[in-house]
Each structure stands twice: as C-alpha cells, then as structure tokens.
Amino acid sequence: MENAMAAPAAVIRHLQYASLPNGSQLHYASAGERGRPLMLFVHGFPEFWFEWEDQLAEFGRTHFAVAPDLRGYNLSSKPAEVEAYRPRHIVEDLVQFVSALGYDQAVVVAHDWGGAICWNLAIQHPELVRQLVIVNSPHPYLFAKALATDPEQQAASAYMNWLRKPGAEKALAANDFALLDRMLADADGKPAAWYTEETRERYHAAWSQPGEDGVHPLAGGVNFYRASPMHPPGEGEPPPDISRLDPAAFVIKVPTLVIWGERDRALPKSLLNGLEEFVQDLRVERIPEGSHWVIHEQPERVNLLIRSAVA
C-alpha cells in the first residue's frame, strides 16, 4: 500500500463511451492502464462519474479504475420510459459494461443508488464481483424491511415519494438547481466545504445535459425512484408487504466492505443492524462525523479504507 500511495496520481481520461448490446451507451471516465485489474466505481443520485474523481486518481495507480455515468445521467443514454430505469436494466448495463471493457470480473465500489444497484449485482452475479465496497447504501432486504416497519425510516425516506411525483425534475432544476445545491449541503444545512464554486459548475453542467427526444436532463435520475418498488408508504397507503421476500435470496457471497457516514439524514446507521446475517464476509467501517457525502468530505480516509480491502 505504501508504494501505491507514493506513486503519482493517475491521469483521468473522460469522454469515453461504451455501446452495449442492450442498446445503452454509457459514458465513462478512467484512470490507469487497461489490462490491470478492473475497479468499477458506481455513483448515486444526483451525481455522475465526477463523484469518484479522487478515487480514480488514487486507484488508477494500481488498477484500471473506471467510473461510468449510469443510464439517465450526464452523457450516458437517457431513455424516456420510466420502465427503462428498473433496477434489472441498470444491473444489465453494468454486466455488459464490464464485458465491453474486456473483463469478466471487477472490484466494485458504489454509493447511494449505485450501491442499491451493486448490492443486486453482487447477489445476481457473484462471479463478476471480486470484492464489493459499499458507501452509505442499505442492503435491499434491510431497507425494504425498514420502509415497511420503521416509522423513523419512513419519515427519513419521505423525499422519495416527492421525487416520484410528476414534475419533480422541473422542480429540481428551478432557480438554477437550487434544491439540488441544497441537497449537497452538509448535515447542518450549511454549504459544504467540498462543494466549491468550481465543483458546483461541474455539477450544473452535468445536470443540464439534455436527453433524447426532449427528455428533461434530470428525468433519468428521478426515474430511478419512479421505477423502483422501494419507497415508503404515501399518505393513506398501507406499508409495503415484504412477506413474499425470501431473506435467503438476498445473501451476499463476495467479500464486502461497508463504509458508513453516520450523520446521514436519509439513511441512518440503524440500517446496518442485522447486516451480518446477509453478508458472509463482512467488514463495516463507521465514520461518526461523516454525512451521506463522506466520499467528498474525507476522500483520503475513504481511499485508505478502500485500499485496505482491495486485493
């Protein structure tokens, strides 16, 4: 690890594209030499590949480090239909993307919605995931259970129902993306130190990229919420029925590191309770002062934790 950390930061290349057999085109950034072991970095909402800039520069020293824009985001395909954003389609994108890069296995690092997708990737395609690193993204069964039974989690996740409503993308874009800028504030509601004017401009540019056939630039990201069965009950609705979910179908069989900023307002640390029952080879690293955006707040610490887990 010392030799890796002493090497110069890797150069990041972007404006690269992979055309997938399912018709999707994913834009991606990369660092390091193709042919080295693949590390795949998967962003969440409302981000894009740039979330992983510090990680690409670090892990490109030793790996072929790649961060795609998920479908619906920035420069990747943005289909109009909500159905196109069901989790199975996003998982399929990643499976085909790894193959398009010339690999059959990857270390997978993921955050937020990217984590939700990659929990499923590891469940459905364990042969593809050499190691899994999750940052502030709950295991799907534990999250479904919390949405069904935990009033505190239901309240914390109420924003999901707002995002599912018609017009949410226009509301997010209003007043020069004021709501999205506020979302990236720190846990105390003050401007985050990492969210500099330069970084803000990068995000605003990504949020402004148009979709096909007049699709709103933010519709793809919002459609992840609309297409997902995971959301708290709305007013007057019964809680979701999880009785048909078989816990045994949600077991993770690959080595897994979970990094959790404990000041996450939407995803409280209680979502870690019981995780050891679903992950056979689990290590959890808690960052008490970290928020949902801990990757940006403490990139060096996050990098050290990831490096300690990567073979």
Digit-coded pLDDT (tens) for 105-148: 999 999 999 999 999 999 999 999 999 999 999 999 999 999 99
The CATH number linked to 61 is: 3.40.50.1820
What pLDDT is recorded for position 1? 46
By residue range, what is the domain housing residue 141?
2-309
Exactly one of 112, 141, 231, 296 is catalytic; name it: 112
| pTM for this prediction | 0.96
- Which residue out of 28, 103, 141, 225 is catalytically annotated? 225
C-alpha span between 133 and 287 (Å, rounded): 15
Q: How many domains does the chain have?
A: 1
Q: What is the pLDDT at residue 6? A: 60
| pLDDT at position 272 | 98
Structure confidence at residue 311 (pLDDT) = 65
Selecting among 27, 139, 231, 292, the annotated active-site residue is: 292
> Digits of tens for pLDDT over the chain (311 positions)?
445 556 788 999 999 999 999 999 999 999 999 999 999 999 999 999 999 999 999 999 999 999 999 999 999 999 999 999 999 999 999 999 999 999 999 999 999 999 999 999 999 999 999 999 999 999 999 999 999 999 999 999 999 999 999 999 999 999 999 999 999 977 677 789 999 999 999 999 999 999 878 899 999 999 999 999 999 998 888 888 899 999 999 999 999 999 999 999 999 999 999 999 999 999 999 999 999 999 999 999 999 999 999 96
216 catalytic per annotation:
no
Determine whether 103 is an active site residue.
Answer: no
pLDDT of residue 46: 98
Can 292 be counted among the known catalytic residues? Answer: yes
The pair of three-digit structure tokens given for residue 170, joined into one six-digit string: 């226009």
